[in-house]
Structure 1
Amino acid sequence: MAESTSYALIFDMDGVLINNTSFQARAFQLLFRDLGLTTNALKLLQRLNGMPATKILETVFANPVPKKQLETYANQREFLYRTLYWEKRREMPGLTQFLQDARAAGFKIGLGTGSGNDTIGYIIDHLNLRRFFDVVVTKDEVDRGKPHADTYTVTARELGVPPERCLVFEDALVGEQAAYKAGMRCIALSTSIKPDKFQAPLKVLKDFTEINSAQVLELLEQNLPIPKPSKQLAKREYMHL
């Protein structure tokens, strides 16, 4: 049997460490209302959640918007989100126990998120989760966010583990595609979209009470083929990139 120390677990943050998609969507919806846009934020996030906010916002305007203006809108959305979510910050059920078990089993553990350093501190430091991660990679450390592979490629490199020995935990289609582009397998959490919307995860979870580190190691040792990114999904979901 392979040792857990030869594998790495890489986690997205939003929708994985925390179940916050509805609050993210509400913040976008309030911003859209202020801007006079009729876009349905929840449906938008079901397609594009996991991308940097500026990239998501880029898709909702009929005409190009300057980068500086998009950043202003993204900051407005971030303020709205933090206000809405301030008293609601909770880790995903079973998360701390799972992370403790994974570390005890010898897995290397990384965080790879499309959020910035200030945003992740608002979550992982408030919830005392940073102690579990050997590596933290944010949008500030990569050139291209999800669905590009950069976030997970950089995380694996900093962990010192080959991509094929990394397992990504994701809740979003763009994140799942990023994992496959990086040459990694994926376990999905159905916090943002329905289980049947994902392409080919090894398993779909409601939360971390449904899995333990021994089961993860068993899945990895099956050495199943790494899915190729779906061209059909890419065309449909990321056509504005």
Structure 2
Amino acid sequence: MQQIKAALFDFDGVLADTEPLYDQFWDDAGIRYHTGIPHFAAVIKGTTMSNVMKKYFSDRPEEEQRKIQAESDEFESRMPFPPVPGSLEFVRMLKAHGVQVGLVTSSENRKMKRAFQEMNLEGLFDTFVSENRITKGKPDPMCYLLAAEDLKRKPEECIVFEDSFAGISAATNAGMRVIGLSTTNSEDELKDKVYKVIPNLLHYTFEDYLSWQE
């Protein structure tokens, strides 16, 4: 019998419906700090904070860089974590069927520690990869390859659930099949980049999961 593939989940936009909050914060920051980039939030979506600072603000005075980082930290320290419909139930259902599950995010541990507590995620995942464990953020495949290594699985033995273009690229570059959630980008924008597009994980069954690895 063929081994059931492991399931790797992004956090923002897949488990937690936080992307609208990030959109508002970073679009506003992009204007206030004169990046000159329309819809700045969409451009940086899925990438680590360290990469955002390095790529877009490294030419700014140190005091301004510290201010941007502090504002981001303060925002993340108080943001809520509304769950994406069906996602947590879907993860727990896979876990109950013996599927290895992992959480792979560009977020920092400080934010994720609070998310684990508030969303009751403690002990749920078989591996957890965050910004603190990687040196190259999405769209680089490092984070997903590290999760597969943790689970002792080959990349082709993993299915990834993602919403952002950077995350989809990271998983695809890792050699993994991707299920795209249209929580952040539209189905039309995602359909040529992923194996299948779904609106969320509400009402999906174990049989559905098995069908996605055939």
Paired residue for 1:55, among 51, 55, 75? 51
The TM-score normalised by the length of structure 1 is: 0.79
Aligned equivalents of 1:186 and 1:66: distance in 2? 40
Partner of 2:141: 149
Partner of 1:205: 198
- The alpha-carbon deviation at position 175 of structure 1 amounts to 0.5
Paired residue for 1:108, among 79, 94, 100? 100
Alignment gaps of 5+ in structure 2: none
Per-residue CA deviations over 1:52-85 (Å, capped at 9, x if unaligned) read 1232355545x834789646523312312444x3
The structure that is helix-richer by fraction is 1
Corresponding residue SS for 1:131: coil
Corresponding residue SS for 1:120: helix
Paired residue for 1:119, among 111, 120, 132? 111
Partner of 2:208: 215
Give the conservation status (yes or no) of the 8 Å contact 1:188–1:203.
yes
Aligned equivalents of 2:196 and 2:40: distance in 1? 24
| 2:69 alignment partner AA | A
Partner of 1:25: 23
Per-residue CA deviations over 1:78-132 (Å, capped at 9, x if unaligned) read 312444x33xx22111123211210121110011111111111122221002322
Corresponding residue SS for 2:112: helix
- The alpha-carbon deviation at position 182 of structure 1 amounts to 0.7
Aligned equivalents of 2:135 and 2:210: distance in 1? 31
Identical pairs, percent: 25
Partner of 2:8: 10
Partner of 1:35: 33
Alignment gaps of 5+ in structure 1: 223-241
Pairs aligned (count): 213
Matches within 5 A, 1:59-98: 59-60=55-56, 64-65=59-60, 70=65, 72-83=67-78, 85-86=79-80, 89-98=81-90
CA 1:145–1:71 in structure 2 vs 1: closer, same or farther (change >3 Å)?
Answer: farther
Aligned equivalents of 2:203 and 2:62: distance in 1? 42
Give the conservation status (yes or no) of the 8 Å contact 2:26–2:40.
no
Give the conservation status (yes or no) of the 8 Å contact 1:27–1:81.
no
The TM-score normalised by the length of structure 2 is: 0.88
Paired residue for 1:158, among 150, 161, 164? 150
Partner of 1:174: 166
- The alpha-carbon deviation at position 160 of structure 1 amounts to 1.1
CA 1:189–1:145 in structure 2 vs 1: closer, same or farther (change >3 Å)?
Answer: same
Per-residue CA deviations over 1:202-221 (Å, capped at 9, x if unaligned) read 2212111142222111211x
| 2:208 alignment partner AA | Q
